[in-house]
Amino acid sequence: MTAPMPTFPAGFRWGVSTSAYQIEGAATADGRGRSIWDTFAHTPGRIADGSTGDVACDHYHRHREDVALLAGLGVSAYRFSVAWPRVLPTGSGAVVPAGLDFYERLVDDLLAAGIDPVATLFHWDLPQPLQDRGGWLARDTASHFAEYADAVAARLGDRVKLWITLNEPFIHLSLGHGTGAHAPGQALLLDALPVAHHQLLGHGLAVAALRARSTAPVAIANNYSPVVPAGRTDADRAAAAAYHALHNRLCTDPLLGRGYPPGFDPTEVPTGTPAVVRDGDLDVIAAPLDVLGVNYYHPSAVRAGTPDDPLPFELVPLTGHPRTAFDWPVVPDGLRDLLVGLRTEYGDALPPIQVTENGCAYDDVPDTRGRVHDPERIAYLDGHLRAVHAAIAAGVEVTGYFVWSLLDNWEWAEGFTKRFGLTHVDFATQRRTPKSSYTWFRDVVTRPTPDQPA
Ligand code: GBH
């Protein structure tokens, strides 16, 4: 690399992230119920390689080894998610203590290793019985989510250091309910907008439940993608503004007290059913947040749709950049622009930010001596960390950064075909091999800072 990595503020939180269905396996252990992802993965044709998360990284049985990997990495935090169907197999009602026992062991092992547990409550694995009652299209799911948050906080509220209610509600809306590429596989386009409202309502109700049980700060993790108009026409610029409103503002404006962006307000959806957005909902949703989690992978390019397009924009490839194995463009400056843009857009209403996911997929293969070299991942992370630093230098309060992910894992509709880990996993043997990016990231996070001598 060129110039040395600049130093980050003392107390900056360094971490890695994972999610339950992508790593745990043990799909029927200890009374775990089924989620929409069990159903979806077991439906032929949905997953690129026909795989499921039944075993994944078998983390449920190997969490000690994985906590040792975290300790070796030197991170100060680990972001994992709690599987709702392990805690409440039908989504509501009676808690299964054995499900919570697993997370309690994990949290205690993390604390013993000096690592802050950061717990996400919903990373897309809705209990199937709730889906059978309408899922996030049904308003009741929001209150069930708050009951579940209460149950988790009752057990872990004294030890979790940061709560994250939802992971990427917009992606769960768009891929799960808009296009159907993800579970539950619904292709409703904009008729899916109530899914955004009910998730955000669930978030707001969960914030209250968490605060009643725990003094730990509360966050939500949103996916953001800076939007570039494909051409210089007014129509392309308008399309870019529309996509920005949908992808970046829909699940942020209401949290920060601004209501829904015009054009994508669930109030306007003609459903013929009782009002989706009811009196008082926006106040619940705007409950003060301690941290905004920002997940960033890449910017998006859009152009104007044709008159018979169902949406007022069309996504096109963003050219002129290197690409990952997922074919996503590598644009580190997009992260700086995004962070600075959030500050510009929301001003003092913006809480401190932690980058809760950032990372890339490459086709990492062990060499003949079993070592895994991933210089592209090191370059990706190096560039993005410099972008975070540049945003801090520009006055944005960023207090943490988490790499996606600790382990190669089960990448949703892509199955095992996309590897995001700092650690290589041989899924036939479950052997874990730290990649060269693991060593690189360890050296970054364990470096002494000026205010914090080694
Ligand atoms: C995150 O979602 C998830 O939280 C995590 O579980 C997942 O493993 C990780 O990212 C890696 O995928 O321009 O058409 O190619 C990321 C959400 C949505 C970001 C799709 C990239 C590509 C759109 N992603 N998007 S496209």
The enclosing domain of 436 has a CATH number of: 3.20.20.80
Q: Which residues are annotated as a binding site for substrate?
A: 22, 123, 167, 297, 404, 411-412
* Nearest atom of ligand 1 to the alpha carbon of 414: 12
Question: What is the predicted pLDDT for the residue at 453?
Answer: 52
For the stretch 315-371, pLDDT in tens is 999 999 999 999 999 999 999 999 999 999 999 999 999 999 999 999 999 999 999
**Ligand 1 center–CA 449 separation, angstroms:** 32
pTM greater than the 0.95 cutoff: yes
Q: Which residues of the chain have pLDDT under 50?
A: none
Among 16, 35, 17, 15, which Cα is nearest to 26's?
35
**Ligand 1 center–CA 29 separation, angstroms:** 28
Ligand 1 binding site (Cβ under 6 Å of any ligand atom)? 19, 167-168, 171, 223, 295, 297, 300, 315, 328, 357, 404, 411, 420
Strand-strand pairing, 300-303 and 314-316: antiparallel
Q: Which residues are catalytic?
A: 168, 357
Domain presence at residue 84: yes
Domain presence at residue 451: no
Question: What is the predicted pLDDT for the residue at 450?
Answer: 63
Domain presence at residue 3: no
**Ligand 1 center–CA 4 separation, angstroms:** 30
Domain presence at residue 394: yes
Question: What is the predicted pLDDT for the residue at 267?
Answer: 85
Domain hosting 136: range is: 13-269+276-445
Closest C-alpha residue for ligand 1 atom 14: 315
DSSP letter string, 377-446 = HHHHHHHHHHHHHHHHHTT--EEEEEEE-SB----GGGTTS----SEEEETTTTEEEE-HHHHHHHHHHT
Question: What is the predicted pLDDT for the residue at 273?
Answer: 65
Question: What is the predicted pLDDT for the residue at 270?
Answer: 60
The reply to whether ipTM tops 0.85 is yes
Domain presence at residue 453: no
Overall number of domains in the chain? 1
Domain presence at residue 6: no
